[in-house]
Structure 1
Amino acid sequence: MRMWMQDAEVRSRRAVLKAAGGLAGLLLTQGCVRPSVGPVASAPVPHAPYPSLARMPAQPVRTMAAPATVNPKLFERAVAALDRHSHRLRRTDRIVIADFALDSAHPRFQFIDMHSGVVSAMRVTHGSGSDPAHRGQLERFSNIPDSNATSEGAFTTDNYYIGKHGRSQRLVGLDPTNDNALMRAIVIHGAWYANPEMIAQHGKLGRSQGCFAVAEGDLARVFDLIGEGRMLYAAKV
């Protein structure tokens, strides 16, 4: 009887050891236990897409009187557009108005600080389709592709890129009068035909194909003043 019990105990121990060995082998194949001979090669894990950056809500539009050097009616329209489109803008602390009631010899690209009322102004071109006779005065706006004309309305400044005109900034049209701007590649860029020498020689700037071209020496300042996510408003009042 005692011998039978000893044999049974030995068989039980062997069964336990065998089961434990099988479990360890299973864990190794699943990667839960790292073998001492080296790391287990694993299949590469694909990178998850980066989450999109959340848009920061723009500050509420501040009510202020038109600065002394800015057309008050045009400023009123620009502020109304700023209020209307504020949910699509990242910043409302500064705007730029292109006052196309002025001719191209005047500094009609007006950067306005909406807190202090300080205005910085410089010259900007209009499109050849807006001034077919090249008189230096914008006569009409257009949103039609290949019109080479300037478009009217509110834009938001988008990202920078390097193109055929060097460093440039894309614009997105926010109104039905300029919603083809991105497709038409209407951008801000520097150009020789917007340099001060043009005024000295011709009394006016050259014309773009609808883009807001500024003097090459002014471009860095323009980008510093307007940045990304602010509003540009172009009109003639």
Structure 2
Amino acid sequence: MEKILAAKLGRRDILAGSVATAALSLFPGAAFAAPTDTRLRDIARHQLDRMGNRIWVRDVVGLADFSLPSSEHRFFIVDMASGNVRRFYVTHGRGSDPEHDGWLKAFSNQPGSNATSRGAYLTRNYYEGKHGLSMRLSGLDRDNDNAENRAIVVHGADYANPDMIRTMGKLGRSEGCFAFPQDRLVEVIARMGPGRMIYADRLEGSAHG
């Protein structure tokens, strides 16, 4: 998918941020042809209110519910106007699941922990790194304010593809990053482009209200 996008835009446009608009043209039909979920929209609205003007763009919010196992769709992109939700697989960090049974056991903000951090993130710029097309994040809470130092980002990975669930019963693990299936990455990054919020926690028992 990144090669398709690169062919449409060119490297400079991708890195400059034109990826979002162009990428959406690759997905036919309504961008949010998905069921509504008032609970998720309420959580998203609460977290937006909590973050205030630190979130620049408020049309959609990404929610990662780590009370669910990696074998389930647990990353939700919520359209704040309509309440429609798109669902995706996403990994957690190996330090959060040392037994690798597919369930997140603990969060950590410590460098070297290889764990997932809870809290609100601001999506930043696109770049090309060792995982290909990626998007940087800034942690906005005490529980994730080391995100930039830890290089916690959004990227694609083969170990995040659904084939892993069919063969292993779970996804692989990242080093704390939000890793998505390769064939869904552009859609996620396009929707969650710079200035938006990702909120990660066990959503039923959020540490942030």
Instruction: State TM-score, norm by structure 1.
Output: 0.68
Aligned equivalent of 2:171: 205
Q: State the secondary structure of the residue aligned to 2:53.
A: helix
Alignment of 1:183 with 2:117, yes or no, is no
Please report the RMSD computed on the Cα atoms of aligned residues, expressed in angstroms: 1.4
Alpha-carbon offset, residue 79 of structure 1 = 2.5
Structure with higher Rg: it is 1
Distance in 1, Cα, partners of 2:197 & 2:106:
21
Distance in 1, Cα, partners of 2:118 & 2:42:
15
Distance in 2, Cα, partners of 1:157 & 1:91:
10
Q: State the secondary structure of the residue aligned to 1:97.
A: strand
Alpha-carbon offset, residue 78 of structure 1 = 3.7
Distance in 2, Cα, partners of 1:232 & 1:117:
16
Distance in 2, Cα, partners of 1:75 & 1:207:
28
Which of 85, 97, 100 is the equivalent residue of 1:131? 97
Unpaired runs of 5+ in structure 1? Answer: 1-66
Which of 100, 104, 119 is the equivalent residue of 1:153? 119
Distance in 1, Cα, partners of 2:200 & 2:164:
22
Distance in 1, Cα, partners of 2:43 & 2:89:
21
User: Where do 4+ consecutive residues of structure 1 move more than 4 Å?
Assistant: 67-70, 74-77
Alignment of 1:114 with 2:80, yes or no, is yes
Q: State the secondary structure of the residue aligned to 1:111.
A: strand
Q: Deviations over 1:93-132 (max 9, x none)?
A: 1100001011001111100000001100110000000001
Q: State the secondary structure of the residue aligned to 1:228.
A: coil
Distance in 1, Cα, partners of 2:126 & 2:103:
28
Aligned equivalent of 1:193: 159
Alpha-carbon offset, residue 213 of structure 1 = 0.1
Distance in 1, Cα, partners of 2:200 & 2:167:
27
Name the structure, 1 or 2, with higher relative contact order (CA <8 Å, separation 6+): 2
Tell me if the contact between 2:91 and 2:160 (Cα under 8 Å) persists in the aligned partners: yes
Alpha-carbon offset, residue 225 of structure 1 = 1.3
Q: Deviations over 1:22-75 (max 9, x none)?
A: xxxxxxxxxxxxxxxxxxxxxxxxxxxxxxxxxxxxxxxxxxxxx7657x3x65
Which of 71, 78, 98 is the equivalent residue of 2:64? 98
Distance in 1, Cα, partners of 2:184 & 2:174:
16
Distance in 2, Cα, partners of 1:84 & 1:109:
20
Tell me if the contact between 1:155 and 1:231 (Cα under 8 Å) persists in the aligned partners: yes
Q: State the secondary structure of the residue aligned to 1:112.
A: strand
Given the superposition, is the C-alpha separation of residues 129 and 75 from structure 1 closer, same or farther in structure 2, using an over 3 Å criterion?
A: farther
Unpaired runs of 5+ in structure 2? Answer: 1-34, 205-209
Q: State the secondary structure of the residue aligned to 2:164.
A: helix
Aligned equivalent of 1:221: 187
Question: Number of aligned pairs?
Answer: 169
Output the amino acid matched with 1:88.
R
Distance in 2, Cα, partners of 1:219 & 1:75:
22
Distance in 1, Cα, partners of 2:175 & 2:93:
5
Alignment of 1:234 with 2:205, yes or no, is no
Given the superposition, is the C-alpha separation of residues 75 and 152 from structure 1 closer, same or farther in structure 2, using an over 3 Å criterion?
A: farther
Given the superposition, is the C-alpha separation of residues 139 and 95 from structure 1 closer, same or farther in structure 2, using an over 3 Å criterion?
A: same
Output the amino acid matched with 2:69.
D
Tell me if the contact between 1:86 and 1:92 (Cα under 8 Å) persists in the aligned partners: no
Alpha-carbon offset, residue 86 of structure 1 = 2.7
Aligned equivalent of 2:6: none
